[in-house]
Amino acid sequence: MKKQIYVIGHRNPDTDSVASAIGYAELKRALGVERVTAAMAGALNPQTTWLLGRLGMEAPLYLADVHPKVGDVLGRTAVSVSADQPLVNALQLFHHNGVRILPVLDAADCPVGVISLLKIAERSLKTGPDSLRQVKASLATLAACLEGEFLAGSADLEVETLHLFVGAMVEGSFNDKIARFAPESLIVVTGDRRSIQLNAIERGVRVLVVTGGLPVAPDIVELAATKGVALITTPLDTAATVSLARLSTPAGYLAETHFESVGVGEPLGRLREKLLHSGETAVLVLEEDGTLAGVATKSSLFQPLPYALILVDHNELSQSVPGAEDLEIIEVIDHHKLGNAHSTNPIPFITAPVGSTCTIVASLYQEHGVTPEPKIAALLLAGILSDTVILKSPTTTARDQAAVERLARIAGLEWEAFGAEIFAASGALSGYGSPERVVTSDFKLFSQGEARFGVGQVEVFGFSEFNAMKDELKAALQALREKESLELAGLMVTDIATESTMFMMEGGHAYLRFMGYPQPEPHIFEMKGVMSRKKQLVPHLIKVLGGR
Protein backbone atom coordinates (compact mmCIF):
# COMPACT_ATOMS: atom_id res chain seq x y z
CA MET A 1 0.00 0.00 0.00
CA LYS A 2 1.42 3.37 -1.04
CA LYS A 3 0.53 5.91 1.60
CA GLN A 4 -0.80 9.36 0.97
CA ILE A 5 1.87 11.76 2.28
CA TYR A 6 0.95 15.22 3.53
CA VAL A 7 3.64 17.89 3.79
CA ILE A 8 2.26 20.20 6.46
CA GLY A 9 3.32 23.14 8.62
CA HIS A 10 2.18 24.25 12.06
CA ARG A 11 -1.34 25.06 13.25
CA ASN A 12 -1.21 28.81 12.64
CA PRO A 13 0.52 28.85 9.27
CA ASP A 14 2.65 31.79 8.24
CA THR A 15 4.18 32.34 4.82
CA ASP A 16 7.33 30.33 5.58
CA SER A 17 5.22 27.38 6.76
CA VAL A 18 2.96 27.37 3.69
CA ALA A 19 5.73 28.09 1.17
CA SER A 20 8.01 25.36 2.53
CA ALA A 21 5.13 22.83 2.44
CA ILE A 22 4.29 23.64 -1.18
CA GLY A 23 7.94 23.82 -2.21
CA TYR A 24 8.96 20.56 -0.57
CA ALA A 25 5.93 18.66 -1.87
CA GLU A 26 6.84 19.86 -5.38
CA LEU A 27 10.43 18.63 -4.89
CA LYS A 28 9.27 15.21 -3.69
CA ARG A 29 7.09 14.83 -6.77
CA ALA A 30 9.99 15.87 -9.00
CA LEU A 31 12.04 13.11 -7.36
CA GLY A 32 9.40 10.52 -8.24
CA VAL A 33 7.56 10.25 -4.92
CA GLU A 34 3.90 9.43 -5.56
CA ARG A 35 0.85 10.62 -3.64
CA VAL A 36 2.46 13.60 -1.90
CA THR A 37 0.34 16.67 -1.20
CA ALA A 38 1.02 20.04 0.40
CA ALA A 39 -1.34 20.77 3.28
CA MET A 40 -1.97 23.39 5.94
CA ALA A 41 -3.30 23.05 9.49
CA GLY A 42 -5.05 26.42 9.75
CA ALA A 43 -6.40 29.37 7.82
CA LEU A 44 -4.07 31.49 5.71
CA ASN A 45 -3.04 34.86 7.09
CA PRO A 46 -3.47 37.99 4.93
CA GLN A 47 0.17 37.99 3.81
CA THR A 48 0.12 34.41 2.53
CA THR A 49 -3.31 34.90 0.96
CA TRP A 50 -2.00 37.93 -0.94
CA LEU A 51 1.20 36.12 -1.95
CA LEU A 52 -0.55 33.08 -3.44
CA GLY A 53 -2.85 35.38 -5.37
CA ARG A 54 0.15 37.39 -6.57
CA LEU A 55 1.83 34.21 -7.86
CA GLY A 56 -1.37 32.65 -9.21
CA MET A 57 -1.08 29.60 -6.95
CA GLU A 58 -3.71 27.64 -5.07
CA ALA A 59 -3.69 27.28 -1.30
CA PRO A 60 -2.59 23.90 0.10
CA LEU A 61 -5.17 21.35 1.18
CA TYR A 62 -6.70 22.37 4.52
CA LEU A 63 -6.67 19.63 7.15
CA ALA A 64 -8.56 20.53 10.32
CA ASP A 65 -7.23 17.34 11.89
CA VAL A 66 -5.60 14.07 10.89
CA HIS A 67 -7.04 11.87 13.62
CA PRO A 68 -7.28 8.37 12.11
CA LYS A 69 -10.84 7.44 11.23
CA VAL A 70 -12.51 4.07 11.48
CA GLY A 71 -12.72 3.85 7.69
CA ASP A 72 -8.92 4.01 7.49
CA VAL A 73 -8.54 0.48 8.89
CA LEU A 74 -11.29 -1.28 6.93
CA GLY A 75 -9.25 -3.38 4.56
CA ARG A 76 -11.82 -5.57 2.85
CA THR A 77 -15.43 -5.80 1.71
CA ALA A 78 -17.75 -7.02 4.44
CA VAL A 79 -19.21 -10.51 4.18
CA SER A 80 -22.91 -10.34 5.03
CA VAL A 81 -26.16 -12.22 4.62
CA SER A 82 -29.64 -10.95 3.79
CA ALA A 83 -32.25 -11.31 6.50
CA ASP A 84 -34.51 -13.35 4.21
CA GLN A 85 -31.83 -15.83 3.14
CA PRO A 86 -31.89 -19.35 4.69
CA LEU A 87 -29.46 -20.32 7.39
CA VAL A 88 -27.62 -22.66 5.02
CA ASN A 89 -26.44 -19.64 3.06
CA ALA A 90 -24.97 -18.18 6.24
CA LEU A 91 -23.16 -21.44 6.94
CA GLN A 92 -21.67 -21.42 3.47
CA LEU A 93 -20.43 -17.85 4.00
CA PHE A 94 -18.84 -18.82 7.32
CA HIS A 95 -17.15 -21.81 5.68
CA HIS A 96 -15.76 -19.97 2.65
CA ASN A 97 -14.67 -16.73 4.32
CA GLY A 98 -13.40 -17.71 7.76
CA VAL A 99 -15.36 -14.97 9.54
CA ARG A 100 -16.67 -15.14 13.10
CA ILE A 101 -19.87 -13.14 12.75
CA LEU A 102 -22.10 -12.21 9.86
CA PRO A 103 -24.02 -8.94 9.68
CA VAL A 104 -27.63 -9.58 8.73
CA LEU A 105 -28.95 -6.93 6.33
CA ASP A 106 -32.39 -5.74 5.36
CA ALA A 107 -33.47 -4.92 1.82
CA ALA A 108 -31.77 -1.50 2.07
CA ASP A 109 -28.41 -3.08 3.09
CA CYS A 110 -28.75 -1.74 6.63
CA PRO A 111 -27.82 -4.11 9.49
CA VAL A 112 -30.72 -5.48 11.50
CA GLY A 113 -28.56 -7.79 13.58
CA VAL A 114 -25.62 -10.16 13.60
CA ILE A 115 -25.43 -13.93 13.56
CA SER A 116 -22.57 -15.99 14.92
CA LEU A 117 -21.42 -19.51 14.15
CA LEU A 118 -22.07 -20.36 17.81
CA LYS A 119 -25.69 -19.28 17.44
CA ILE A 120 -26.15 -21.55 14.42
CA ALA A 121 -24.55 -24.43 16.29
CA GLU A 122 -26.86 -23.93 19.24
CA ARG A 123 -29.84 -23.98 16.90
CA SER A 124 -28.71 -26.98 14.86
CA LEU A 125 -27.36 -29.27 17.56
CA LYS A 126 -30.42 -29.51 19.79
CA THR A 127 -31.22 -33.09 20.79
CA GLY A 128 -34.48 -34.89 21.54
CA PRO A 129 -37.05 -36.14 19.01
CA ASP A 130 -39.23 -33.04 19.10
CA SER A 131 -36.25 -30.67 18.85
CA LEU A 132 -34.71 -32.60 15.99
CA ARG A 133 -37.89 -32.51 13.94
CA GLN A 134 -38.66 -28.82 14.62
CA VAL A 135 -38.23 -26.44 11.67
CA LYS A 136 -38.63 -22.67 11.98
CA ALA A 137 -38.86 -21.31 8.49
CA SER A 138 -40.95 -19.51 5.95
CA LEU A 139 -42.18 -21.43 2.95
CA ALA A 140 -40.02 -19.15 0.81
CA THR A 141 -36.78 -20.02 2.64
CA LEU A 142 -37.74 -23.69 2.86
CA ALA A 143 -38.18 -23.93 -0.90
CA ALA A 144 -35.00 -21.93 -1.55
CA CYS A 145 -33.01 -24.14 0.77
CA LEU A 146 -34.32 -27.30 -0.92
CA GLU A 147 -33.85 -25.92 -4.44
CA GLY A 148 -37.54 -26.65 -4.68
CA GLU A 149 -40.41 -25.64 -6.92
CA PHE A 150 -43.99 -25.01 -5.81
CA LEU A 151 -46.51 -27.23 -7.59
CA ALA A 152 -49.24 -25.89 -5.28
CA GLY A 153 -49.26 -23.05 -2.78
CA SER A 154 -46.89 -20.09 -2.76
CA ALA A 155 -43.66 -18.81 -1.21
CA ASP A 156 -45.05 -17.18 1.94
CA LEU A 157 -42.53 -15.05 3.84
CA GLU A 158 -43.93 -15.44 7.35
CA VAL A 159 -41.78 -17.58 9.64
CA GLU A 160 -43.68 -20.59 11.03
CA THR A 161 -42.84 -23.27 13.59
CA LEU A 162 -43.29 -26.60 11.82
CA HIS A 163 -42.64 -30.27 12.61
CA LEU A 164 -40.93 -32.45 10.06
CA PHE A 165 -41.85 -36.10 9.40
CA VAL A 166 -40.59 -38.53 6.78
CA GLY A 167 -43.25 -40.67 5.17
CA ALA A 168 -41.16 -43.82 4.87
CA MET A 169 -43.52 -46.33 6.51
CA VAL A 170 -46.91 -47.81 5.82
CA GLU A 171 -49.89 -45.52 6.05
CA GLY A 172 -51.20 -46.79 9.38
CA SER A 173 -47.90 -46.50 11.19
CA PHE A 174 -47.35 -43.06 9.69
CA ASN A 175 -50.75 -41.84 10.89
CA ASP A 176 -49.95 -42.98 14.41
CA LYS A 177 -46.68 -40.99 14.34
CA ILE A 178 -48.26 -37.70 13.34
CA ALA A 179 -51.52 -38.03 15.26
CA ARG A 180 -50.47 -35.85 18.22
CA PHE A 181 -49.50 -32.88 16.04
CA ALA A 182 -51.83 -30.32 14.49
CA PRO A 183 -51.86 -31.05 10.74
CA GLU A 184 -51.29 -27.37 9.85
CA SER A 185 -47.92 -27.54 11.66
CA LEU A 186 -46.55 -30.48 9.67
CA ILE A 187 -43.98 -30.85 6.94
CA VAL A 188 -44.21 -34.28 5.36
CA VAL A 189 -41.25 -35.43 3.29
CA THR A 190 -41.74 -38.44 1.05
CA GLY A 191 -40.80 -39.89 -2.31
CA ASP A 192 -43.18 -41.28 -4.90
CA ARG A 193 -45.36 -42.99 -2.25
CA ARG A 194 -48.83 -42.09 -3.52
CA SER A 195 -50.64 -43.35 -0.41
CA ILE A 196 -48.54 -41.14 1.88
CA GLN A 197 -48.99 -38.16 -0.46
CA LEU A 198 -52.79 -38.59 -0.49
CA ASN A 199 -52.98 -39.17 3.25
CA ALA A 200 -50.92 -36.08 4.03
CA ILE A 201 -53.03 -33.88 1.77
CA GLU A 202 -56.31 -35.26 3.10
CA ARG A 203 -55.16 -34.52 6.65
CA GLY A 204 -54.38 -30.91 5.58
CA VAL A 205 -50.66 -30.76 6.39
CA ARG A 206 -48.91 -27.43 5.90
CA VAL A 207 -46.28 -28.66 3.45
CA LEU A 208 -45.77 -31.81 1.42
CA VAL A 209 -42.29 -32.23 -0.05
CA VAL A 210 -41.73 -34.81 -2.77
CA THR A 211 -38.02 -35.68 -3.06
CA GLY A 212 -35.71 -36.97 -5.75
CA GLY A 213 -37.25 -34.92 -8.53
CA LEU A 214 -39.84 -37.66 -8.91
CA PRO A 215 -42.99 -36.91 -10.90
CA VAL A 216 -46.15 -35.98 -9.04
CA ALA A 217 -49.50 -37.08 -10.45
CA PRO A 218 -51.76 -34.27 -11.70
CA ASP A 219 -54.59 -35.33 -9.40
CA ILE A 220 -52.25 -35.05 -6.39
CA VAL A 221 -51.29 -31.52 -7.45
CA GLU A 222 -54.95 -30.58 -7.95
CA LEU A 223 -55.96 -32.03 -4.58
CA ALA A 224 -53.16 -30.17 -2.78
CA ALA A 225 -54.29 -26.90 -4.33
CA THR A 226 -57.89 -27.61 -3.32
CA LYS A 227 -56.95 -28.47 0.28
CA GLY A 228 -54.57 -25.48 0.66
CA VAL A 229 -51.50 -27.71 1.07
CA ALA A 230 -48.18 -26.31 -0.15
CA LEU A 231 -46.69 -28.90 -2.48
CA ILE A 232 -42.97 -28.64 -3.21
CA THR A 233 -40.90 -30.83 -5.48
CA THR A 234 -37.12 -30.98 -4.87
CA PRO A 235 -34.30 -32.68 -6.79
CA LEU A 236 -32.64 -33.60 -3.47
CA ASP A 237 -32.95 -37.05 -1.93
CA THR A 238 -34.78 -37.55 1.33
CA ALA A 239 -31.69 -37.48 3.58
CA ALA A 240 -30.44 -34.19 2.10
CA THR A 241 -33.94 -32.72 2.24
CA VAL A 242 -34.30 -33.47 5.94
CA SER A 243 -30.86 -32.03 6.77
CA LEU A 244 -31.34 -28.86 4.76
CA ALA A 245 -34.91 -28.28 5.94
CA ARG A 246 -33.56 -27.72 9.43
CA LEU A 247 -31.25 -25.06 7.99
CA SER A 248 -34.01 -23.19 6.20
CA THR A 249 -34.67 -20.72 9.03
CA PRO A 250 -34.29 -17.16 7.68
CA ALA A 251 -31.04 -15.61 8.91
CA GLY A 252 -32.91 -12.60 10.21
CA TYR A 253 -34.94 -14.84 12.54
CA LEU A 254 -31.82 -15.98 14.43
CA ALA A 255 -30.00 -12.62 14.30
CA GLU A 256 -29.01 -10.93 17.55
CA THR A 257 -30.59 -7.50 17.30
CA HIS A 258 -28.20 -5.99 19.84
CA PHE A 259 -24.84 -5.25 18.26
CA GLU A 260 -22.07 -2.67 18.54
CA SER A 261 -21.67 -0.24 15.67
CA VAL A 262 -19.58 2.80 14.81
CA GLY A 263 -19.62 5.28 11.95
CA VAL A 264 -17.03 5.01 9.21
CA GLY A 265 -16.02 8.65 9.81
CA GLU A 266 -15.70 8.41 13.59
CA PRO A 267 -12.26 8.57 15.28
CA LEU A 268 -10.36 5.31 15.43
CA GLY A 269 -10.21 5.71 19.20
CA ARG A 270 -13.97 5.22 19.35
CA LEU A 271 -13.61 1.84 17.64
CA ARG A 272 -10.75 0.90 19.95
CA GLU A 273 -12.90 1.72 22.96
CA LYS A 274 -15.78 -0.46 21.74
CA LEU A 275 -13.56 -3.42 20.86
CA LEU A 276 -11.60 -3.36 24.09
CA HIS A 277 -14.36 -2.55 26.56
CA SER A 278 -17.67 -3.76 25.14
CA GLY A 279 -16.86 -7.46 25.26
CA GLU A 280 -17.79 -7.80 21.57
CA THR A 281 -15.41 -9.56 19.20
CA ALA A 282 -16.48 -7.44 16.24
CA VAL A 283 -18.06 -4.06 15.58
CA LEU A 284 -20.17 -3.19 12.54
CA VAL A 285 -18.97 -0.10 10.69
CA LEU A 286 -21.72 1.98 9.10
CA GLU A 287 -21.78 4.49 6.29
CA GLU A 288 -23.43 7.85 6.89
CA ASP A 289 -26.70 6.53 5.44
CA GLY A 290 -26.74 3.57 7.84
CA THR A 291 -25.70 0.94 5.31
CA LEU A 292 -22.94 -1.50 6.13
CA ALA A 293 -19.39 -0.37 5.32
CA GLY A 294 -17.51 -3.24 6.91
CA VAL A 295 -16.80 -5.31 10.00
CA ALA A 296 -13.95 -4.35 12.33
CA THR A 297 -12.24 -6.70 14.77
CA LYS A 298 -9.29 -6.26 17.12
CA SER A 299 -6.95 -7.10 14.25
CA SER A 300 -8.28 -3.98 12.50
CA LEU A 301 -6.55 -1.88 15.15
CA PHE A 302 -3.19 -3.14 13.88
CA GLN A 303 -3.80 -2.28 10.24
CA PRO A 304 -1.34 0.31 8.84
CA LEU A 305 -2.86 3.73 8.36
CA PRO A 306 -3.04 4.88 4.74
CA TYR A 307 -1.34 8.24 5.20
CA ALA A 308 1.75 9.78 6.81
CA LEU A 309 3.14 13.24 7.54
CA ILE A 310 6.18 15.30 6.69
CA LEU A 311 6.44 18.17 9.16
CA VAL A 312 7.87 21.47 7.96
CA ASP A 313 8.63 24.65 9.94
CA HIS A 314 8.00 22.90 13.27
CA ASN A 315 8.87 19.71 15.08
CA GLU A 316 6.78 19.86 18.27
CA LEU A 317 3.52 17.93 18.32
CA SER A 318 1.90 20.69 20.37
CA GLN A 319 2.19 22.87 17.26
CA SER A 320 1.21 20.17 14.77
CA VAL A 321 -2.14 19.51 13.18
CA PRO A 322 -4.39 17.74 15.71
CA GLY A 323 -3.98 13.98 15.44
CA ALA A 324 -0.37 14.08 14.26
CA GLU A 325 0.65 12.07 17.33
CA ASP A 326 -1.35 9.11 15.97
CA LEU A 327 0.31 9.05 12.54
CA GLU A 328 3.67 8.04 11.17
CA ILE A 329 5.90 11.07 10.76
CA ILE A 330 8.40 10.19 8.04
CA GLU A 331 10.42 13.43 7.79
CA VAL A 332 10.95 16.72 9.61
CA ILE A 333 12.38 19.90 8.10
CA ASP A 334 12.67 22.80 10.51
CA HIS A 335 14.72 25.73 11.75
CA HIS A 336 13.41 25.97 15.32
CA LYS A 337 14.59 24.53 18.62
CA LEU A 338 14.08 20.82 19.18
CA GLY A 339 11.01 19.68 21.07
CA ASN A 340 9.98 16.67 19.04
CA ALA A 341 8.42 13.43 20.26
CA HIS A 342 10.15 10.09 19.87
CA SER A 343 9.77 8.25 16.55
CA THR A 344 9.44 4.49 16.22
CA ASN A 345 11.83 4.35 13.27
CA PRO A 346 14.82 6.42 12.15
CA ILE A 347 13.68 9.29 9.93
CA PRO A 348 15.31 12.14 8.01
CA PHE A 349 15.35 15.04 10.47
CA ILE A 350 16.79 18.11 8.80
CA THR A 351 17.28 21.20 10.91
CA ALA A 352 19.61 24.18 10.69
CA PRO A 353 20.02 27.50 12.53
CA VAL A 354 18.81 29.60 9.61
CA GLY A 355 16.17 32.29 9.31
CA SER A 356 13.60 30.30 7.34
CA THR A 357 12.57 26.74 6.61
CA CYS A 358 12.36 27.77 2.96
CA THR A 359 16.13 28.25 3.05
CA ILE A 360 16.54 24.57 3.92
CA VAL A 361 14.05 23.50 1.25
CA ALA A 362 15.90 25.60 -1.34
CA SER A 363 19.17 23.89 -0.37
CA LEU A 364 17.51 20.48 -0.83
CA TYR A 365 16.64 21.43 -4.40
CA GLN A 366 20.34 22.14 -4.92
CA GLU A 367 21.46 18.88 -3.31
CA HIS A 368 19.21 16.87 -5.62
CA GLY A 369 20.18 18.83 -8.71
CA VAL A 370 16.62 20.08 -9.27
CA THR A 371 15.94 23.65 -10.38
CA PRO A 372 12.59 24.88 -9.07
CA GLU A 373 10.15 26.42 -11.51
CA PRO A 374 10.20 30.24 -11.39
CA LYS A 375 6.86 30.29 -9.54
CA ILE A 376 8.12 27.88 -6.86
CA ALA A 377 11.37 29.83 -6.61
CA ALA A 378 9.37 33.03 -6.04
CA LEU A 379 7.30 31.28 -3.35
CA LEU A 380 10.39 30.01 -1.50
CA LEU A 381 11.95 33.46 -1.85
CA ALA A 382 8.86 35.01 -0.27
CA GLY A 383 9.02 32.54 2.63
CA ILE A 384 12.59 33.56 3.43
CA LEU A 385 11.90 37.29 3.06
CA SER A 386 8.84 37.00 5.28
CA ASP A 387 10.49 35.05 8.10
CA THR A 388 13.67 37.16 8.08
CA VAL A 389 11.77 40.45 7.58
CA ILE A 390 13.57 41.11 4.28
CA LEU A 391 16.85 39.82 5.79
CA LYS A 392 16.70 42.37 8.64
CA SER A 393 15.93 39.88 11.43
CA PRO A 394 18.79 38.77 13.70
CA THR A 395 17.93 35.21 12.66
CA THR A 396 19.27 35.95 9.17
CA THR A 397 22.34 33.95 8.15
CA ALA A 398 24.68 33.86 5.19
CA ARG A 399 22.77 30.79 3.96
CA ASP A 400 19.57 32.82 3.90
CA GLN A 401 21.29 35.60 1.97
CA ALA A 402 22.72 33.17 -0.58
CA ALA A 403 19.38 31.40 -0.99
CA VAL A 404 17.59 34.72 -1.54
CA GLU A 405 20.00 35.77 -4.27
CA ARG A 406 19.83 32.39 -6.02
CA LEU A 407 16.04 32.13 -5.86
CA ALA A 408 15.61 35.72 -7.03
CA ARG A 409 17.65 34.96 -10.16
CA ILE A 410 15.53 31.89 -10.95
CA ALA A 411 12.28 33.77 -10.30
CA GLY A 412 13.41 36.85 -12.24
CA LEU A 413 12.69 39.16 -9.29
CA GLU A 414 14.56 41.93 -7.49
CA TRP A 415 14.38 40.59 -3.94
CA GLU A 416 14.38 43.86 -2.00
CA ALA A 417 11.52 45.28 -4.07
CA PHE A 418 9.66 41.97 -3.83
CA GLY A 419 10.07 41.94 -0.06
CA ALA A 420 8.80 45.49 0.26
CA GLU A 421 5.83 44.56 -1.93
CA ILE A 422 5.01 41.60 0.31
CA PHE A 423 4.97 43.59 3.53
CA ALA A 424 3.30 46.63 2.01
CA ALA A 425 0.42 44.45 0.82
CA SER A 426 -0.04 42.72 4.18
CA GLY A 427 1.06 45.23 6.79
CA ALA A 428 -2.43 46.43 7.79
CA LEU A 429 -3.99 44.88 10.88
CA SER A 430 -7.42 45.52 9.41
CA GLY A 431 -6.61 42.95 6.72
CA TYR A 432 -6.93 40.18 9.32
CA GLY A 433 -10.66 40.79 9.65
CA SER A 434 -10.90 40.72 13.45
CA PRO A 435 -8.78 41.23 16.59
CA GLU A 436 -9.00 37.47 17.22
CA ARG A 437 -7.42 36.72 13.84
CA VAL A 438 -4.64 39.24 14.51
CA VAL A 439 -3.80 37.48 17.75
CA THR A 440 -4.12 33.87 16.54
CA SER A 441 -2.89 34.01 12.93
CA ASP A 442 0.72 33.21 13.88
CA PHE A 443 0.40 32.16 17.51
CA LYS A 444 2.78 29.50 18.85
CA LEU A 445 2.91 27.69 22.16
CA PHE A 446 6.02 27.21 24.29
CA SER A 447 6.90 25.98 27.77
CA GLN A 448 9.33 26.67 30.57
CA GLY A 449 9.20 23.99 33.20
CA GLU A 450 5.54 23.58 34.07
CA ALA A 451 4.64 27.03 32.75
CA ARG A 452 3.04 27.19 29.28
CA PHE A 453 3.02 30.41 27.32
CA GLY A 454 2.21 31.56 23.82
CA VAL A 455 3.36 34.34 21.53
CA GLY A 456 1.88 35.62 18.29
CA GLN A 457 3.51 38.00 15.84
CA VAL A 458 2.36 40.37 13.12
CA GLU A 459 4.38 42.79 11.01
CA VAL A 460 3.18 46.34 10.33
CA PHE A 461 4.31 49.63 8.86
CA GLY A 462 3.98 52.01 11.80
CA PHE A 463 2.07 51.59 15.07
CA SER A 464 -0.89 53.91 14.44
CA GLU A 465 -3.32 51.10 13.62
CA PHE A 466 -2.09 49.09 16.60
CA ASN A 467 -2.65 52.04 18.94
CA ALA A 468 -6.22 52.36 17.69
CA MET A 469 -6.93 48.65 18.27
CA LYS A 470 -5.18 48.12 21.61
CA ASP A 471 -8.29 47.51 23.68
CA GLU A 472 -9.77 44.98 21.24
CA LEU A 473 -6.43 43.20 20.89
CA LYS A 474 -6.02 43.06 24.67
CA ALA A 475 -9.44 41.46 25.09
CA ALA A 476 -8.74 38.90 22.35
CA LEU A 477 -5.37 38.07 23.89
CA GLN A 478 -6.90 37.56 27.32
CA ALA A 479 -9.60 35.29 25.88
CA LEU A 480 -6.94 33.20 24.12
CA ARG A 481 -4.91 32.93 27.33
CA GLU A 482 -7.93 31.61 29.22
CA LYS A 483 -8.87 29.20 26.44
CA GLU A 484 -5.38 27.66 26.31
CA SER A 485 -4.78 27.86 30.11
CA LEU A 486 -1.52 29.76 29.65
CA GLU A 487 0.71 31.44 32.21
CA LEU A 488 0.96 34.32 29.79
CA ALA A 489 -0.06 35.16 26.25
CA GLY A 490 1.68 37.78 24.17
CA LEU A 491 1.46 39.53 20.81
CA MET A 492 4.49 40.96 19.02
CA VAL A 493 3.57 43.87 16.75
CA THR A 494 6.76 44.44 14.76
CA ASP A 495 7.29 47.63 12.76
CA ILE A 496 9.42 46.82 9.74
CA ALA A 497 10.28 50.47 9.10
CA THR A 498 11.74 51.17 12.56
CA GLU A 499 12.85 47.57 13.26
CA SER A 500 11.18 47.59 16.67
CA THR A 501 8.35 45.76 18.43
CA MET A 502 5.51 46.65 20.75
CA PHE A 503 4.85 43.57 22.88
CA MET A 504 1.40 43.23 24.41
CA MET A 505 1.28 40.73 27.26
CA GLU A 506 -1.60 39.25 29.25
CA GLY A 507 -0.83 37.29 32.43
CA GLY A 508 2.57 36.61 33.97
CA HIS A 509 2.21 39.51 36.42
CA ALA A 510 4.65 37.90 38.86
CA TYR A 511 7.39 38.15 36.24
CA LEU A 512 6.92 41.74 35.09
CA ARG A 513 9.92 42.98 37.08
CA PHE A 514 12.18 40.64 35.11
CA MET A 515 11.16 41.87 31.64
CA GLY A 516 13.82 44.57 31.42
CA TYR A 517 12.10 46.66 28.73
CA PRO A 518 10.37 50.06 28.96
CA GLN A 519 6.65 49.78 29.74
CA PRO A 520 4.89 52.85 28.29
CA GLU A 521 1.54 51.57 29.62
CA PRO A 522 0.16 48.48 31.41
CA HIS A 523 0.42 45.23 29.45
CA ILE A 524 2.68 46.75 26.75
CA PHE A 525 6.46 46.73 26.44
CA GLU A 526 8.50 48.74 23.95
CA MET A 527 11.28 46.58 22.46
CA LYS A 528 13.55 48.52 20.13
CA GLY A 529 15.67 46.33 17.88
CA VAL A 530 13.61 43.23 18.64
CA MET A 531 12.25 41.59 15.49
CA SER A 532 12.61 37.85 16.03
CA ARG A 533 10.26 35.80 18.16
CA LYS A 534 12.44 32.72 17.88
CA LYS A 535 15.86 34.21 18.52
CA GLN A 536 15.11 37.24 20.68
CA LEU A 537 11.77 37.26 22.48
CA VAL A 538 11.08 33.59 23.27
CA PRO A 539 14.56 32.92 24.76
CA HIS A 540 14.10 36.07 26.84
CA LEU A 541 10.66 34.97 28.08
CA ILE A 542 12.05 31.53 29.01
CA LYS A 543 14.62 33.26 31.19
CA VAL A 544 11.96 35.54 32.66
CA LEU A 545 9.68 32.63 33.56
CA GLY A 546 12.66 30.88 35.08
CA GLY A 547 13.22 33.91 37.35
CA ARG A 548 16.58 34.75 35.81
Please, what is the average pLDDT of the chain?
Answer: 91
CA angle centred on 384, ends 379 and 386, rounded to 5°: 90
Please indicate whether residue 157 or residue 128 has the higher confidence score (pLDDT). 157
pLDDT of residue 169: 73
- What are phi and psi for residue 191, nearest 5 degrees? -95, -135
| Residue-level pLDDT at 544 | 87
pLDDT of res. 109 = 92
How open is the CA angle 315-358-372, to the nearest 5 degrees?
A: 130
CB-based contacts of 37, cutoff 8 Å, min separation 6: 4, 5, 6, 7, 25, 60, 61
Q: What is the pLDDT of residue 184?
A: 93
Q: Which residue has the higher pLDDT, 46 or 384?
A: 384
pLDDT-derived band at 55 (thresholds 50, 70, 90) equals very high
pLDDT tier at 130, thresholds 50, 70, 90: low
Of residues 345 and 218, more confidence is placed in 218
Residue 20 has pLDDT above 60, yes or no: yes
What distance in Å separates the CA atoms of residue 142 and residue 124, rounded to the nearest whole number?
A: 15
Contact 78, 294 (CB under 8 A): yes
The CA–CA distances, whole Å, from 436 to 23, 136, 351, 511 equal: 29, 67, 32, 25
Q: Beta strand 111-116 with 134-137: parallel, antiparallel or unpaired?
A: unpaired
Res 131: pLDDT = 64
What pLDDT band is residue 537 in, cutting at 50, 70 and 90? very high
115-119, 242-246, 317-321, 390-394: least confident range: 115-119
Give 373's contacts (C-beta < 8 A, 6+ positions apart): 26
Q: For residues 190 and 449, give the distance between their C-alpha atoms in angstroms, rounded to a whole number.
A: 87
Determine the average pLDDT of the residues in 30-57.
Answer: 95
pLDDT band of residue 463 (cuts 50, 70, 90) is very high
Q: What angle do CA 507, 509, 510 make, to 5 degrees?
A: 130
Over residues 349-386, the pLDDT tens digits come to: 999 999 999 999 999 999 999 999 999 999 999 999 99
Q: CB 94: neighbour CB atoms within 10 A?
A: 19
Do the strands 4-8 and 230-233 form a parallel or antiparallel pair, or are they unpaired? unpaired
**pLDDT at position 479, please?**
96
- pLDDT for 113 equals 92
- The three-state DSSP-derived secondary structure of 333-366 is EECCCCCCCCCCCCCCEEECCCCCHHHHHHHHHH
- pLDDT at position 344 is 77
Q: Is the pLDDT of residue 469 over 70?
A: yes
| Mean pLDDT for the stretch of residues 418-424 | 91
The pLDDT of residue 439: 94
Q: What is the pLDDT of residue 125?
A: 60
Q: How confident is the model at residue 171 (pLDDT cuts 50, 70, 90)?
A: confident
Residue range 482-513, pLDDT digits in tens? 999 999 999 999 998 898 999 999 998 888 88
Is residue 431 very low, low, confident or very high in pLDDT (cuts 50, 70, 90)? confident
Summarised one tens digit per residue, pLDDT across range 277-328 is: 877 788 999 999 999 999 998 888 888 899 999 999 999 888 899 999 999 9
* Dist CA 67 CA 72 (whole Å): 10
Q: Which helix (H) or strand (E) holds 233?
A: strand 230-233
pTM recorded for the entire structure: 0.72
The per-residue pLDDT for 221 is 96
First to last CA, the chain: 53
- Residue 68 confidence (pLDDT): 93
Compute the average pLDDT of residues 224-242.
Answer: 95
76, pLDDT greater than 80: no
Q: Is the per-residue pLDDT at 127 higher than 60?
A: no
Domains of the chain: 4-67+307-421 (3.90.1640.10), 430-546 (3.10.310.20)
Nearest to 262 by CA among 300, 209, 215: 300
Q: How confident is the model at residue 176 (pLDDT cuts 50, 70, 90)?
A: confident
What's residue 341's pLDDT?
A: 67
342 vs 286, higher pLDDT:
286
- Beta strands 36-40 and 4-8 are parallel
Average pLDDT over residues 507-535: 90
Going by the DSSP 8-state scheme, the letter that residue 390 receives in this structure is: T
